[in-house]
Amino acid sequence: MICDSALKSEQLKILEATYAGAVPELKFGSTFELLIAVILSAQCTDRRVNEVTPQLFSEAKTPTAMLELGQSRLEELIRSCGFYRSKARNILGACRKIVDEYDGEVPTTFEELIKLPGVGRKTANVVLSVAFREPAIAVDTHVFRIANRLKLAEGVTPLEVERGLQKVIPREKWSDAHHWLIWHGRKLCKARAPLCGECPLKNCCPYVG
């Protein structure tokens, strides 16, 4: 029987080899655009967000321009992302705070980011990791599912899983590992019908064992 730590190390080694170089699926051209795209991605696919943001960002590339759109026009542009009214309110609220308190620039710390309307731990960690190259593990539905199935980090809340993953993954690989787990969830370890027979982790996965 492989010991728990050795099993987790093997799982991470396979994930890294399989998904080396993985990058976010969301399309963006600036830190601000990344922030808005991640807010829009809540309970929505990245593919759908990528269909919406080209038109949105062609009209509003900055917090000030986004505020000038107003609630109605913003709702119209993001309607297909779902929960468009609350997302529009949060985006405008975040933009107002960025303009008023941060001179129009997206704040660079976790503590500041989570003060923005519509920004929770996941969104803040994505921005820190992708835009500012800070070690962070954002726990979305894919990361949560895979971490629990592999028993890499078991937990009933995203925060429990985040802290568990931080313990087993070297800090310098936190941001990369976030993408390994996301892409594994999208491609193979799907929520309803995981493709276990095709999975490179099938010999070291408790879920199929």
What are the residue numbers of the active site? 122, 140
As a whole number of Å, the end-to-end CA separation of the chain is 12
Report the 10 Å Cβ neighbour count for 23. Answer: 9
Which residue, among 117, 118, 49, 116, has the nearest Cα to 81 in the 3D structure? 49
Tokens of 65: 């321009």
Distant-in-sequence contacts of 84-89, Cβ < 8 A, 24+ apart: 87/39, 87/40, 87/42, 87/118, 89/117
Give the contacts of 45 (CB within 8 A, at least 6 positions apart).
Answer: none
Q: 68 to each of 86, 95, 96, how far by Cα in Å?
A: 18, 10, 11
Strand ranges (DSSP E) for the chain? none
